[in-house]
Structure 1
């Protein structure tokens, strides 16, 4: 007969191993199958499912590209597919102003399939009653996953405690049957081993949350302040297709994108004195009196719409700044917009679909560095990068298919900190 003292450690170790493997397997399965979150994390900055953005709408992409392996290869490294001369993707690249797509070599086949499944099964969200804005894609999914992980961890912890209690009682019964002296099982809340284990777990969990909180200090993702005048980018940049550079002219030529003066607003609002478009709803679901907001612009400019003349000096609008970087960070809009040809939506999200602007990106150093590592530099007909003869020759000789921002020093500390 096998010694009971040998069986118990083996059984305990096997049980804990099975529980751990189950937890990890379940977590990996979720990661691979959560297509919406994968889409938001990797594709959502430049693509929408049902409409064009920085890149084309992805609905029906599997119908347009029948070769699944080719589609996977395009997502992982589009430059390699372009180098192969594939006619469909070459035409797509040319139709979209030869703007290179980010590469995603770390995505597995299962994760790409999950993204494609999400695109294939996507249904446009139904507007909430009262016209309130729909939460940003992915936000709810992340919350649901956190709850799921927490519930799963709690269930496994309870199961583990129950199994340990059962094991202790079985040991007592076995000792009683063999006539061996035994002691009453110690309650788990008095067991020093359990108390020490729970203490360590609480310290680890607390440390994780404290670390995340410290790292996230002054990172204001989703920051959406109330502005003195309700300015809708969705109406101006979206519905009316006003180019971003009309108001933010500094983005092309200087470090700051600049906030336009009220005189720029008056170029249009001297004649547009009332709003006649679709209803606009605030975050709380109440309908906005957009004409009243136009009157605030007139007041700031000192303009009398009835007399159609300026009657006072007016007063500058005290806009609340949303996107802020630390003072020790150098960032130039011209470097990104003009030289790098980066689209506004890359950092600011779907600004043309926002009524009230919020900070979409994290704007952390890690976020910037990852972008520099993955983003391909547009070398075609870009005189700004003419000094990099080595890379131009390598591309011409086909020994290199692309150049990232990191290749030209984009991850060197002194590029942003000096």
Structure 2
């Protein structure tokens, strides 16, 4: 029995090691991308200038690693040193203040830069055939491969345990030590108990993950009655988000724009002549036909240049939903907090059909409040915080987070 317990312990240790290795490798490989999306994607892209410059080639532009890391953590401090490159960059982008990231470690910044370099090199690589691109996309997640590898290695471990048991029995027989017929592993109580424990741990892990994600809609991307491309409107044509979603600056809800807002432009623009549009499944979209759908809903006759009176509402599918007990005010974030739309909605200017970029969980919101720096300068909404203003002027503190002005108190978000 002691012999079997020893084998059982080895088996459990092997399985736990393989599980940690497989899951851990997958998580570590994603750190750079996750950190980029969490901290940088709202203002930067890899190969395209957005609110800030493209990050591809940042190490070539700023070869001084120490200076680069200092800029990322506290750009205002670097600007005060009079560095020519960063001051020119600051002026080039209309003196838009970059967020401060004092909590990022050297390892995290290095992971972000590694991801940027990898993404830039992949974008510069020659295009592959469609089949190869799809195969590469499907193979980007190695979880299945790691799972199969874990299963194969577990079988090998079981086989080696049986071989070891048989060799031990043969050795005992040769030395005259009485041996007993080994109990098959499928009837061995120790193995059965260990299998149950491992199954319980794995099942519990996935059950907890499922419960945590219950009700969340991250990556939810429904098909809308009219294919409206934010990439065309907000990206190519540079239409300000607040032109259509004026409520985001003035009220709690961002609001879906009225059809009159659409017709302000599309009375004159009755056909689409831009780059080809595609849905997520790869099917091509006829932009001109989508404009005709708009005319049908508004009751506009493009030939007679007048309304027919046969308008009907568009049944847009809502994408972003919060629980009823959660209070969120767009104006408080957009107007008072100076939060960019991309912070929560991702690179909206690059999306065809919109999808939910962030999981909008409580942890996600709380972390944002803990890390986001409040723009105190020239912001009348925070003029009453005299102590913080005095501490900033005296140098006692270099920034104020949302948490310090009550941003993590329960009653701020829950009725």
Structure 1 pair 14–198 and aligned structure 2 pair: CA distance change class (3 A): closer
Instruction: Work out the CA distance in 2 between the residues paired with 1:32 and 1:244.
Output: 35
Instruction: Work out the CA distance in 1 between the residues paired with 2:348 and 2:412.
Output: 27
The answer as to 2:157 corresponding to 1:160 is yes
Contact 2:221 2:356 in 1 (8 A): yes
Identify the residue that residue 189 of structure 2 maps to in structure 1: 192
Q: Note the C-alpha offset of 1:383.
A: 0.9
Structure 1 pair 33–93 and aligned structure 2 pair: CA distance change class (3 A): farther
Q: Note the C-alpha offset of 1:29.
A: 6.0
TM alignment of 1:71-220, pairs within 5 A: 71-75=68-72, 77-78=73-74, 81-82=77-78, 85=81, 87=83, 88-89=85-86, 92-93=89-90, 95-96=92-93, 97-101=95-99, 103=101, 105=103, 107-109=105-107, 111-121=108-118, 122=120, 123-124=122-123, 144-220=141-217
The answer as to 2:390 corresponding to 1:359 is no
Instruction: Work out the CA distance in 2 between the residues paired with 1:410 and 1:306.
Output: 54
Query: Residue deviations 1:169-198, cap 9 Å, x none?
Result: 232123213211111222211111111111
Instruction: Work out the CA distance in 2 between the residues paired with 1:40 and 1:124.
Output: 17
TM alignment of 1:256-267, pairs within 5 A: 256-267=253-264
Contact 1:100 1:378 in 2 (8 A): no
Q: Note the C-alpha offset of 1:22.
A: 7.4
Q: Note the C-alpha offset of 1:215.
A: 1.4
Q: Note the C-alpha offset of 1:159.
A: 3.6
Instruction: Work out the CA distance in 2 between the residues paired with 1:255 and 1:291.
Output: 34
TM alignment of 1:17-416, pairs within 5 A: 24=20, 31-32=27-28, 34=30, 35-75=32-72, 77-78=73-74, 81-82=77-78, 85=81, 87=83, 88-89=85-86, 92-93=89-90, 95-96=92-93, 97-101=95-99, 103=101, 105=103, 107-109=105-107, 111-121=108-118, 122=120, 123-124=122-123, 144-416=141-413
Query: For this pair of structures, how many residues does the alignment match?
Result: 404
Q: Note the C-alpha offset of 1:250.
A: 0.6
Q: Note the C-alpha offset of 1:149.
A: 3.6
Report the aligned-residue RMSD. 3.1
Q: Note the C-alpha offset of 1:54.
A: 3.6
Q: Note the C-alpha offset of 1:401.
A: 0.7
Contact 1:376 1:403 in 2 (8 A): yes
Instruction: Work out the CA distance in 1 between the residues paired with 2:156 and 2:222.
Output: 46
Contact 1:83 1:401 in 2 (8 A): no
Which region of structure 1 is more displaced relative to structure 2, 308-317 or 228-237? Answer: 308-317
Structure 1 pair 149–129 and aligned structure 2 pair: CA distance change class (3 A): closer
Instruction: Work out the CA distance in 2 between the residues paired with 1:198 and 1:369.
Output: 39
Which region of structure 1 is more displaced relative to structure 2, 161-170 or 197-206? Answer: 161-170
Query: Any idea what SS the aligned residue of 2:278 has?
Result: coil
Query: Residue deviations 1:97-140, cap 9 Å, x none?
Result: 4433252635452x43343233224232877879xxx99xx996
Instruction: Work out the CA distance in 1 between the residues paired with 2:141 and 2:200.
Output: 24
TM (norm. structure 1) is 0.86
Q: Note the C-alpha offset of 1:394.
A: 0.9
